[in-house]
Structure 1
Amino acid sequence: MLDGDVPGDAGFVLPLLRPGMRVLDVGCGLGAVTLGFGTAVHPVQVLGVDPEPERLVKAGGVVRRRGISTVDFAAGAALRLPVAEAAFDVVFAHALIERTKDPAELLAELLRVLRPGGTLALSTSDWSRAKLRPRTANVDAALRGYFQLLRARGEDPFAGRRVAEHVERAGFREVRARSRHRPGLEYRVLAERVESGLAEALRAPGGPDPQLASAARSAWSWARGGGGEFSQCWTELVAVRAP
């Protein structure tokens, strides 16, 4: 099973694709979006890059079994992409800016590999506008602790609010962004993931952080409560590298 969802994660990119284009999917994971791009418009050549080679072995196996010649994969880090300068017409990344300590450094690398006049497309989450029902005091407390964990790792849970600003500063032009809510994890699965992350943090050397301990108790209660609804807010951005 490939991860990713082309209509959900990257549907806004499909109208940008034209025959003959070269497309780069940065942080492609198991390659579902990469494969979707490569079969959406013919012929479009698509390269998926991910830092975990074992994911790419699985993705490459799917491509070979289906006999798809327009899709390839390469191992590499987003900050040091294994591709030449100005090599792609479209560069896409889903859920990448929010996991990057230095967005300016990442965007400089994406600018490097994009041809003049080419298009950057980003899908970036914004937890500040996520919708959860019910949203109880325990949910809020647990999420505050979870966001504290993300920031400690250099991530930005609210990156979707600022991604357009980062892209403009990086030198891109014609920046257009819109926000859209899409179903995310199941409500209870999200609660369990938050609980697990906080519990793991409390086992780290140095003793438990009182704020995280309180958040973990709230997450425990949330995960054992009833069901609910969750939809994540995504900022879908399109910009152009200046000619």
Structure 2
Amino acid sequence: MSVYVANHHSSVLKMHSWRTAQNSIPYLLPSIKPDMKILDVGCGPGTIAVDLAKLVPSGHLTGVEYLAAPLEAARSHAAREQVQNIDFRVGDVHALEFADGSFDVVHAHQVLQHVRDPVQGLREMRRVARKGGIVALRESASMTWYPDMPVLREWKDLHMRVSKARGGNPDPGS
């Protein structure tokens, strides 16, 4: 099971809504072809997912989130943008409910820090990517706070303890 320490409070979803394919995953854009099938794991409010769906007009994008709550915002965003080649589902990265090789591209943005077993999540993403497909992730290697101040060290310690207690992995690169 995945966890999200910040939950999906409306303020968190609003903060994540500034993310676009152009400002968050420019490295992936040159590889996208118009007929691709794409899976966006941890799609949140759907802003990156909708941008990617626009790039695959004869393809399809599926967004997955571990809870239903943020998917309402994602569906609303897709409707406002008049993007129809997209669907959103509840799913767990540890056990994706898709056949082997279902997608040309499997994408995740800042997801591994929120999952119990990042390696299993990566295995699942690779499993559902077609042979020769792309698994693309933009992730944090570890959490850092700056400047180095006692109050920020205390905040980081609290955040790490809460993340770990809820089953997350706040330093997925370690």
Aligned counterpart, 1:3: 17
Aligned counterpart, 1:123: 138
Q: Percent identity?
A: 28
Q: Which one has a larger percent helix, Structure 1 or Structure 2?
A: 1
Q: Which one has a larger percent strand, Structure 1 or Structure 2?
A: 1
Q: Cα offset for 1:4?
A: 5.5
Tell me the amino acid that sits aligned with residue 91 of structure 1.
Answer: V
Q: Cα offset for 1:116?
A: 0.5
User: What TM-score, normalized to structure 1?
Assistant: 0.58
SS of the residue aligned with 1:79?
Answer: helix
2:162 paired residue among 140, 149, 153: 149
Extract structure 1 runs of 4+ deviating beyond 4 A: none
Cα deviations across residues 121-154 of structure 1 (Å, max 9, x unaligned)?
11112344x3523x31222233123222222233
Indicate conservation of the 8 Å contact 2:62/2:89, yes or no: yes
The 2-side partners of 1:105 and 1:132 are apart by 31
Indicate conservation of the 8 Å contact 1:4/1:31, yes or no: no
Aligned counterpart, 1:70: 85
Indicate yes or no: 2:116 matched with 1:107.
no
Q: Cα offset for 1:9?
A: 2.9
- Equivalent pairs, count: 159
Aligned counterpart, 2:11: none
The 1-side partners of 2:152 and 2:69 are apart by 35
1:96 paired residue among 111, 130, 133: 111
Indicate conservation of the 8 Å contact 2:52/2:61, yes or no: yes
SS of the residue aligned with 1:118?
Answer: strand
Indicate conservation of the 8 Å contact 1:27/1:50, yes or no: yes
Structure 1 residues 131 and 35: CA distance shift in structure 2, 3 A: same
User: What TM-score, normalized to structure 2?
Assistant: 0.78
Aligned counterpart, 1:81: 96
Indicate conservation of the 8 Å contact 2:45/2:77, yes or no: no
SS of the residue aligned with 1:125?
Answer: coil
Q: Which has the larger radius of gyration?
A: 1
Q: Cα offset for 1:28?
A: 0.7
Indicate yes or no: 2:37 matched with 1:22.
yes
1:132 paired residue among 146, 157, 163: 146
Indicate conservation of the 8 Å contact 2:94/2:117, yes or no: no
Q: Kindly report the root-mean-square deviation, in angstroms, between the aligned alpha carbons of the 2 structures.
A: 2.2
1:31-42 to structure 2, matched below 5 A, reads: 31-42=46-57
Q: Which runs of 5+ in 1 are unaligned?
A: 163-243
Indicate yes or no: 2:67 matched with 1:52.
yes
